[in-house]
Structure 1
Amino acid sequence: MKIIIILSLTFILSACSSLSNLVPPDIATAIKIEESETFKELKSLPKPKGAIPVSVYSFRDQTGQYKPQANISSFSTAVTQGATSILMQALSDSDWFLPVEREGLQNILTERKITRAANKNKNGKTELPPLTTAKILLEGGIISYDSNTKTGGFGAEYFGIGASELYREDVISVYMRAIDVRTGQVLVSVSTSKTVLSTEARAGFFRYVSFKRLAEAEAGYTSNEPMHICVKQALEKAITELVKKGLDKRVWKAQDTTASYQYHNQYK
């Protein structure tokens, strides 16, 4: 019995000591999103022969999932609806692809019309360079959001003093394919997934200190991975795998021909 009591108290004290985020945070200024391991992996790819122009018309949320809310109806989506913007940022950060704007193509065409109307020369013509054409079209989307794929936790309580910790894992999956705009052939197709981790820790105290006098205290915190950060990492991993698989299939070629990627580049 003494051993059980000692183990319980040890666990409770260790759990309480982990509650380091109990103090509410102060108002913070905007910060730059930190580089993740997937971003570092993307930047560590071998240099290409040249950046390949690529277009993305839409990279949508195809899950149809809504954010789970307890006891209420919610129309907020479970994953971000801005995956196209995140993908364009990741493509721009990579050395392999030169993204061209297609999601806001109508806005570009409208501005070009305004430019022509404002800068007509004496011959009634305005010289504007043609829009950059893409060699590859990227298609796909966020195709799966599975909630509560893993749940668990542990806790202990003795004589009104207790602590517990819970966790939950969700999974999002991304599919991406590169298409040759000249032939419509799917050159490379990849899929990646990312877990979304949520944790909760709490500690409490509940005891009668005297007759008809009850002392009670409770503290805790939760931590949830931001969904757009998870989508960003899944897309960065997808681009990395797209480049690697394209090298293996000899779709494009690295700049360093003495490296392990010695393949034909059909675009250069």
Structure 2
Amino acid sequence: MAAPYVLVLVMLAYSTIFRPMGLNKTAVKPPPQKVVASPEFASPVINTTEVTEKLLSLPVPEKRIPVAVYGLWDKTGQLKDDQPGMAARKSTVVSQGASEMLITALDRSRQFKLLDRVTFKNLMTEQDLRGKKRLAA
């Protein structure tokens, strides 16, 4: 049996050294609190315009046409000042979200089977992986 003073020293060491370091806590973390979004952020907002309504009113075909959308870039070369008076900061005149807008319109029309190919490099990588039998056909 250990001498009582050894037990006192061990308890003293534990309370002064290990407890402030957080070593007395269990390794199991409590489950995270469930975060509930307010109603205005709970679902995506659909920008309903006349064009959106026309796309949604199209009849659904028996067979959808497969379509691949590649990147659409501004090749006009036109630049505008990002902030008035700040000539060093330039941005393109044409929107950089054209591919995404086209994909959204095609999806809402329900006429096309979309093949997401915004970046041609992604398609080439996919074909390369298929050729090496590293991706299912």
TM-score (normalizing by structure 1) = 0.29
More strand by share: 1
More helix by share: 2
TM-score (normalizing by structure 2) = 0.50
| Higher Cα Rg, which structure | 2
